[in-house]
Structures are given as C-alpha cells and as structure tokens.
Amino acid sequence: MRFRIQNPIERFFSRVWNPVEQLPSLEDHLLDTTGLDSRSPGDLDTFIRSLGEQLSIEIEVITNAPTADTDLETEFGVSMTVAEMLYDPASEKAVIFVPTHIREDHFLFFKFVLHEVSHLVSGHPIPVLDSARDVWWPPKRLARSTPGRDLHHNEREADLRAEWSLMVALTGRETQDAENHETTF
Amino acid sequence: MNAYQITLIGVGLIGLLGFFVFWGFLTLSDRYGTGLSRRTREAVKIAVLSEITFFVCVVVTVILQDGESWLGEVRYLPWIISGVPLALIFGYIARRQAETLLYVAEHPKLRIFLSSVTYILLLDWVLISLTGSAFAVIPDAMPEIPTGSAAAILERIPLLAPEVICLAAISVVFWKSGEPRTPSSVLRIRNKLFSAGTMCWLVVELIEMSFPLTDAFLAEREAVFVSSVLTLMQALILALSIVFWLLGFIKHRSRTDLDIWRERFLEWSRLREMLGIARAKIRFQSNRVLMTHEYHLSASAKCLGLSEDDRRKAILTLHMTCVLSEATSHDLFYKRELRVQREDLLKCATLQDHLRRSNAISSSFELRLTDGSDRASYGLRDDLLYEVLRPTLWITQIPLQTDISRCPLWTQLAALSAAHAGLLAFDSQQKIFTSRKLHSDVVSTYKLSMDISSRERI
C-alpha cells in the first residue's frame, strides 16, 4: 500500500465527523471544473492542458507501442490495474500510463485518462515513480472538498468525476449546466 | 383458531401483499430506470424474496402451532423437525442477500456483520428446532414457560430478527442509492425518503421485539402502561413511515426527461466500461485457443477482402463470445470480479441506442486526444464494440435461432471461428459446421487458413 494508513483513533474521529461518504454530485463537479472546458468540451487536449496550467504541473499521457515493453503490458494485463498515474520527480510531471490493450478501445482510453486526471482535480495523493512507498500531494487542486487518504474513497471519487466529465464532454456543458435546469435541481 | 392467530395471519397476509406491491414497483421501475444500479435492484429483490419466505414461515408456524408454544409439544414433532431444512433454506437466502449487499455497500465490515448475523440466526433456528425435538422425545424434561419470561423474548427473536435484518438491508440499499453516484437530485431525494420510510418500519419491528420485555421486567400495572405507550409509538412511527413512502412516490413521479437521460448515461457508461475491460483482459487469461483462432480469423478476413473495420468487428465478436463462455466468465468473476452476463450486452446496446437517438448528443460532440503522434477519438456513433454486441448475442443464444447465413460476412466469419474455438454450445457448433447456407468463401478461407497453419507446424 503506497498510502499512509490512518491510525485507528484518527479513523474513528474521521468516521464520527463524516459518517456518510461524501462524493461529488454532477453539480459539484461542474462548479469545481468551471473554466476548464467551456470552449470545446470534447477536446481533452485542451482540457488536460488547461488543468495542468491551473495546477502548475505538466501532465503527459503515455501508451505502450504494440511491440515495446511487452513485460509491462503483460503485467498490466494480468493485474486488476487498468491504467495508472505516477509522479515523476525528475521531470516534475504527472505521467498517465495507459497500456495498449486499453488504448485500443477508445472509450476505455478516454474513461481511464479522465479517471486519472480526476485524481488531480480532487488533489488526491499520487504514487511517485520508482518508489514503492512515497506519494506526492499536488500543491493545488480544483475540488472544494479536502482530499482524503482513503484509497478506496479516492478511487470512487475519481470514477464518479470521470463519468461526469465523460457526460459533459459528450453532450456539451450547456446541456448539463445547473443554471439551465432550475426546476430539476 | 383463536383471535390472536387470525390477527397474525391477517398481518402476515397484509405484509405479503405490501411486499408484492413493493416488488411490483421495483420491477416496473426497472423498465424506466430507477437510478438504482442493477446490483442494487438484485439486492433489494433478494431481500424482498427472503422477506416473503419469512412471512410464509410465520403463517405456516401460526397455523401449525395452534396457539401454544411449539417447544416440547409431541404432536408438533414433524413441524419441529421440518424447521431444520426450513432454517437452512432461509439461511441460504439470507446469506445470498448478505453477499449481494456487498456490491451495494462496498463496505467489507458491513458484509462481515451481515454474514455473522445470518450465521448466528441460522444456528439459532437449528438450536431451537433441536431443543424442541429433545423436549418432544422426553416430555417430562419440558419446563413450564410462563408468558413474559426470557423464553418468550427468545421465541420472538427467530421470528422477527430476519425481518429486522431485511429491513435494515433495504434501508442501507436505499441510503447508498441516495448518494451522489445516482445522477439526479430528484432520485437521490426519493431514495433517501424510501430509506427513511424503511428505517421507521424497522423501528416498529424493534418495538415489537421488545414487547415481552415489559412483562418480564416490569410490574403488571407499569407493564400495561409501558405497553400502551409503545403501541402508540408504533402507530405514530408507522404513520411516519407511510408519509415518507408517499413523499418518495411523489418525488419519483416528478422526474424530468433530463433525469432519465442522465441515469441512462451513467448506467450505459458503467456497463460499457465493464464489457470493455472484460474484452481487453481475456487475452491475458493464457487462452491459446483464442489467440490461434484470432489469427485464423484475421488471416481469413484479409483473404476475403473485408474492410479494416469489418475485420476488427469480427475479432471483437470472437472476443465477446469468449467473454460469455462458461470457463472465461468463471475466471473473470473469480480473478477480476467482473461478472458479465448476456443481459449486460443487451442492456448496454439498448442504452446506447437511446443515447445515440437522443437530441442531447449531436454528431459534433466526440472526444479527442492527441497521444504522442496518434490522435484518438471516440463518438457514440462510431463505437465498434457497440456494433458487435447484438451479433454476439445472436451467435451465443441457446439454441441457435438466428440464421447466421443472412448476417454480414464478418459475423459469419466470427461465428465460424467461435465454433472452431469451442466457445459455443455443442448444438450451436454442430449447426454452424453442418450449415450449408454459410457463405462458401467464408468456410473455405477459414479452412485454408487452419490447414496452412497446421502444415507449418508439421
């Protein structure tokens, strides 16, 4: 486990303080990511670049070439992991690694890139490249809520944000904007 | 039969009717989408099923026990003995419920708690039945059990505890479905209201369980007073429960088209992700037969002059057929916690149909990302996996009813390849091999590819 485990007392107080798991709703997500993708919702290049600019970090998406790194490809293939984001301290950038077998399916590719990017939006700790234990906490985040250390909660939050981003990207922000649907919200 | 028994049977039947209405609501809502996930709905249905079983048990118990405590009564020996298999059946259903709840709750501690309670309950039933049998064999050993003693409380536990657990499970399920993962705020409020309604019902049952305590620990006069207060509280909480449920139904009716659209989108997205991952991961299941036939299929598609898209669709169909095959689906579930069923493919295709037709998504919206020098793009209208979902269902149906020869060449090729790879049921395989209607070029090219390959090996 790469993340520092909360001690039982800390965990107890965190549960008492926050008994129901708080996940962002679509409305929360739209508010958090205001200004990121208003011009062209489907263009993830712009989305990722503007996110990087706001967080002052470079984000790079890497996929395996079909013939190269077959060991790594197999490692990803046999494991439960689908894609992974690591922080490279040497180049000071976040690297999102998507194996080729996932890259082939464009839906999965986008979903998991958005999932990993969502960790940055929420300010979740990111594992450091070539280190089994260290994590890097992004100095800035877009989400209003404070990031937690619970790995499962973070994954669920990133998953949900990825789904909201996908929905917004495929339909346009205007369709989902809360202001246009006062009666619904 | 005395008045008490008639009342109990009446209550049981009303409860049964209520649960059928509840079941009907869930089934009806499935058609239009409830905002609950498939697993959640399964969990609730199993909970309801176990609840109905419980009511049937209560009614049968009341009819058979004839107003007396069944413990130690020789003439009820067959009932006591039959209680053991009944307890086992109930325990099994309750265990299934606890297991299914895992998917909903995603909370291991809750699962452990529910499993433990179920096992304790099962043990409780077995012990009561065995003790009863022992008393029945030695009638003199049967003690006099006064009403209102601890034994009376214990007697209520096996009857009401399953109901308490079921209600708690349903309440948790609705509470979890009230979280932001459910797309619309209307549905979130509705689920929270349903959860509150069920919780009130749960409190009513807990009060019912505690009634004998008043007789056991209080003087007669005080006990009468406390009992009447508790009855009043029960009535009030029950009324509150009905109010919550009614408000929930009112909220349910106020969903907008956008709410329905959003929940369909989320459900489609999760199904599409699951199917995509299952397809991508099967290559790493050390399935040599699949790899071999993927190679033959690819070679045959090239010989037949199929377009690149058709070749890829044929390969995807072969992969999806493999995902649905018994051995692979077992591996996917136990090694990767992916449970893919035929219904998932159909549901995903149907939801994607709805989304493709909807006005919210125009053709101009698609995802684009430059990855190195490659540019990836995804649009709902050019999703190859979507296009192979229905052909996969045609090929894998048992018995094979679709006339494969009327399908496009790539589907015929995929069906033939799946049959050679042993991914289809035996009857379907035989039907495909012996079918004279399959395009002759498809059969001959595939055979040629296999022959060349086997010669190369020699």
Residue with tokens 């035929």, as numbered in its chain: B342
- The per-residue pLDDT for range B65-107, each reduced to its tens digit, is 555 554 444 444 444 454 555 555 555 555 555 444 444 444 4
The helix (run of H) or strand (run of E) holding residue A136 is strand A135-136
Question: What's the complex ipTM?
Answer: 0.83
Distance CA B248, CA B389 (A): 36
Local structure of B280: helix, strand or coil: helix
- Partner-chain contact A44 B266, CB within 8 Å: no
Residue with tokens 């919780």, as numbered in its chain: B199
| 8 A C-beta contact, residue B323 and residue B280 | no
**A103/chain B closest Cα distance in angstroms:** 9
**B132/chain A closest Cα distance in angstroms:** 43
Considering only the beta carbons, identify the residue of B185, B259, B380 that sits closest to A170.
B380
Cα distances (Å, whole numbers) of residue B148 to B12, B160, B205: 23, 16, 18
The token duo for B77 is: 């020996």
The token duo for B431 is: 């039907």
| 8 A C-beta contact, residue A45 and residue B369 | yes
Considering only the beta carbons, identify the residue of A25, A42, A77 that sits closest to B180.
A25
**Is A125's Cβ below 8 Å from some Cβ in B?**
no
Residue B76 is predicted with a pLDDT of 47
Tens digits of pLDDT across chain A (185 residues): 233 444 566 555 555 555 445 677 777 787 787 766 555 656 778 888 888 888 889 988 887 655 556 777 777 887 778 888 999 988 889 999 888 888 888 899 999 999 999 999 999 989 998 877 788 898 888 887 778 777 777 888 898 889 888 888 777 655 555 444 333 22
φ/ψ of residue A131, rounded to 5: -140, 130
Whole-number average pLDDT of chain B: 71
Positions in chain B whose pLDDT score sits under 50: 25, 27-36, 70-80, 82, 98-108, 133, 135-137, 141-143, 145
Considering only the beta carbons, identify the residue of B283, B371, B380 that sits closest to A61.
B371
| 8 A C-beta contact, residue B204 and residue B173 | no
Residue B71 is predicted with a pLDDT of 47
Residue A185 is predicted with a pLDDT of 24
What's the distance, CA B303 to chain centroid? 45
Nearest to A94 by CA among A45, A134, A129, A122: A129
Residue A155 is predicted with a pLDDT of 87
Tell me, yes or no, if the pTM score tops 0.90.
Answer: no
Q: In A96-150, where does DSSP find H-type helix?
A: 100-103, 106-122
**A48/chain B closest Cα distance in angstroms:** 9
Q: In this prediction, what percent of chain B has a pLDDT beyond 90?
A: 8
Distance CA B242, CA B423 (A): 52
- Partner-chain contact A106 B367, CB within 8 Å: yes
Residue with tokens 């009666």, as numbered in its chain: A183
The DSSP result for B392-410, as a single string, is HHHHH-SS--S-GGGS-HH
